[in-house]
Amino acid sequence: MYLLYTVIASLVCYLFLKWMKKRTYYTDVKRLDGKTVLITGGNAGIGKETAVALAMRGARVIIACRDLDKAEKAVREIKIRSHNINVIHMELDLANMRSIRDFSKTFLQREKRLDILINNAGMPSVLDWTDDNFSMCFGVNHLGHFLLTNLLLGRLKESAPSRVVTLTCSNYKYQKLDFQDLNYNLLPFFTYCRSKLANIYFSQELGRIMEGKGVTTYAVHPGYVQSSWTYHYSILFQMLMKVIMFMFFVPCESGAQTVVYCAVSEEAANHSGGYFIDCRPATLRPFARDAGVAKKLWEASERLVKLA
């Protein structure tokens, strides 16, 4: 009898794990020859797999990273895997507003097109601060990409039809924004959740502002992915998370599929401002669809990054 229970339990666990890891693979091979793609944090994880997929389609791919040694290694790997030599890296630190402005100035001087911007880089739940005294999660995940996108928006419009894909997370549902304390940094997990909610509002409001101007926007939850974000934590925590990620999380290549889908597919073009999971539009919680809050966050963000 115990053997039967063990077999049944094992089968249930196997089916559960298989269901957890089931993801749609985007198989359309639409070419991107002549297109320029910019990916923040494209030196590892989902960003690198996205870079490979888009470079394989013929795009010129630029990965923007803080660590130039890792970026150089990633560029070599992307070139080999994609059989595309038109892959470069540029230095960008999203935790530093001056770095973002310098990067944008250099990019606009060098690059005549920007067809796809993928706001991929992100910080996990860490208790730290940016160089401009914003909480690390909110500063990098939202404000850094907010400033970067706005500084490059002119080039995106010139290159229309163009797309902006911003990575978020389903954890957005655990928090709401507090406009009295946008820079909240007491409990790192909640700060992370707020930053991911901010990504969604940002994508929605950008879509509204760009309506009819040839720039479409998407917020993507890539799933729970076997990425390298745990390096910010202790060795013990990293070891524990490796086991958990192996059992329950999907590979980075799988996590990149919805990002690639939103960057490339014709179907996604009709859902600007939408939220996507597993290569299809998904429904947000009602509070995350509040256009008034999205507009208010946009205006507050303009002031914080000194665009207003």
pLDDT above 90 (res 183): no
What's the total number of domains in the chain? Answer: 1
Position 65 in a domain: yes
pLDDT tens digits for range 110-151: 999 999 999 999 988 788 899 999 999 999 999 999 999 999
0.85 surpassed by pTM? yes
Name the more confident of 306 and 21: 306
pLDDT tens digits for range 38-73: 999 999 999 999 999 999 999 999 999 999 999 999
Average pLDDT over residues 9-38: 67
Residue 17: what pLDDT? Answer: 43
Beta bridge partners of 48: none
Residues with a catalytic annotation lie at: 192
Position 11 in a domain: no
Position 15 in a domain: no
pLDDT above 60 (res 22): no
pLDDT tens digits for range 152-181: 999 999 999 999 999 999 999 999 999 998
Q: Which domain holds residue 261?
A: 23-304
> Domain of 206: which CATH number?
3.40.50.720
Dihedrals phi, psi of 234, to nearest 5 degrees: -65, 160
Q: How far apart are the first and last CA of the chain?
A: 70
Position 18 in a domain: no
pLDDT tens digits for range 208-226: 999 999 999 999 999 776 5
Position 98 in a domain: yes
Position 2 in a domain: no
Position 271 in a domain: yes
